[in-house]
Chains A and B, each alone.
Chain A
Amino acid sequence: MSAILKPKSKLVVCDGNEAAAWAVSLANVDMVAVYPITPQSSLVEYLAKFIADGRLNSEIVDVEGEHSVLSVLQGACLAGARTYTASCGPGLAFMFEPYLRTPGLRLPLVMTIVTRDTLTPQSVCGGHQDAMSVREVGWVQMYCESVQEVLDTTIMAYRIAEHRDVMLPVNICHDGNYLSFGAARCELPDQDEVNEFLGEKDVNWHVALDPQRPMAVDPLTGGAGGPGPSTFVRYRKGQCAGMQNSLKVITEAHEEWGRRFGRHHAPLVESYRMDGAEYAIMTIGSMTGAAKDAVDAARARGDKVGLVKVKTYRPFPVEALVSALAEVKAVGVVDRSVSFGWNCGPLYQDTIAAMYSAPRRIPAMSFIGGLAGADLTVAHFERVIGRTRELALDGHAAETVWLNEKD
């Protein structure tokens, strides 16, 4: 069977980094600031090439470090530009100060994290640790499963970030190595259709560097008296409200994308073969493909297992997840990163927190794998499925399982 292609779309073979660059080009971004770092480098090199070739009409600033990358983009955004960058690992760490300020300024910046494990020990390979380390800062975070989803989500990110009920920066996370350099067939949507989908940009209606409407940006607030504390609380509550609003906006954007382009990606969580499932495994990012194949094989053997993939990780889709897990007796959660404070994976930690609001408690176990470039294969997920099946039978959760400890 060949895929059915929309008449005006174009089929290419590209890796995830190139797919992201195509998306940025299709989103008509005005301003790109870059500092290359492995495994993100080729992404910003593609952007530089698209701009040099005249395919993308954007300013590009090759700055001296990631701190400046985001500072430049904040200024551009305040001046009304649609903005983009990509980073990862140590670069993201160096970006942290302006990264913290971006959501408070309510700037709809879009940044790809080509995920990479954090130092130390030294490694330049993939893992979610960098993105997970900035999960509580107030950026929306979505994790992609495939090259096509990278392209589609990067375009959707602008509609989500710039929505008046959200006005927050968005990270699209795609796995270093497996998605950044993994190539697959990918449909490029038609430019006019993308323009219609995104609509007119209006990114600085609320806060601007504009001589025609001078205003104080980022006022001094806080303290123990006067209007300071309540102003600060108003800002903070507004940010939290924007995050919660994004759940609906993300869902609507994915639905509209599916209608227009014929590709339906689950917006918050995806339930895969959960009908009649007695237990479930949970995944995030590019590991999901191998996990789905393992679930199919287990189902063929008569094991009643399903899979729940988390796409939107921040804000955490509590309601959608609780509903997805409503019928199962146990869950095994696979993370590609570590929560040092809890000796488990962060997705596992969020899952059990979310399940506290569920009508009944189910046993859960944490699995950690795919760190620093390690492969997560069908065989690994067969182990996760086997252990979660035991958990559903006896209810005895063990300590965190490290999948690549021996293989």
Chain B
Amino acid sequence: MNDASQSLTTRVEPLKADAHIVLATFLNDEPTLVLTDGQILIGADRLTPHGENAILMASCDGTRLITGGDDGKIFLFNAKDSAIEAGNEKGRWIDALALGPSQSIAWSAGKKVIARDGRGQLKEWAAPSTAQGLAFAPKGYRLGIAHYNGASFWFPNTEGKPEFREWKGSHLDITFSDDGRFVVTSMQENTLHGWRLTDGKDMRMSGYPSKTRSFSWSHDGHWLATSGADAAVIWPFKDKDGPMGKAPRECGVRHAKVSSVAFHPRALVLAIGYEDGCILLCRLSDAAELLVRAAHKDDGKITSMTWDKTGARLIFGSENGAAGVLTLP
């Protein structure tokens, strides 16, 4: 890694931030940082819709950004000058957020789950226990909700009871595969659980030394990269059985735990952020590595990384407010 030709460190432009970074992303191609102290930095603009309250959660799909705070408010940004208050849970902490198809969004506070469609119509469902993670299915208006002892799948526009898939333990984050065939949750017990939605078959993906809190699907939908181990653990999802009976790949093995992962939008290249502030790029085909950022222990763990839509730039942020943009040569 000492060879300068294998390093991209000189191509990183630092960004100024001075609080825990909840989300580092590109909103309409502008580098965007969401900070816990309530600031939202979009390009050169600084917005504070939550006032001095903390922002706990944020999510962005490239054209929309949502933030949820400990003031119970949800703000939705379509462009940098059009923040709207999409919801208000009156002082309750927002635990989870999701962006869905056709301009829909969802959020949760405790057991209360709210889905808001593109026309602003709200639907509410009470989860059996706190909704810890939310994700929309890639097609249709359907929300996956991770909670204690399983996950529920809710069509907000139908009256029927959400479908419940049981698996003992506390489920945290949830993600759907791009083709909608699989859903995966991370768990308090340092493991992942998956369901094949076509037949409900369970998949257990275990062996992590800590919790997985970052997921990223490859552009072709064939791979799911995960944080939580001393390497990025990448599960194969191409075949009809997904990762069942298969070993995962490992990329970027170091003596530090991976805290954030982000697949390149066009190539099988994974950005891997670690708990010590280091960032590597790793190519799946030959496991070749490039250093983006050397370890800086004082910066804390990398909390968020996102590629822009063409994959020319990668933005990142850390728990102690270090941030920057890598521009590929």
Q: Do A and B come from one complex?
A: no
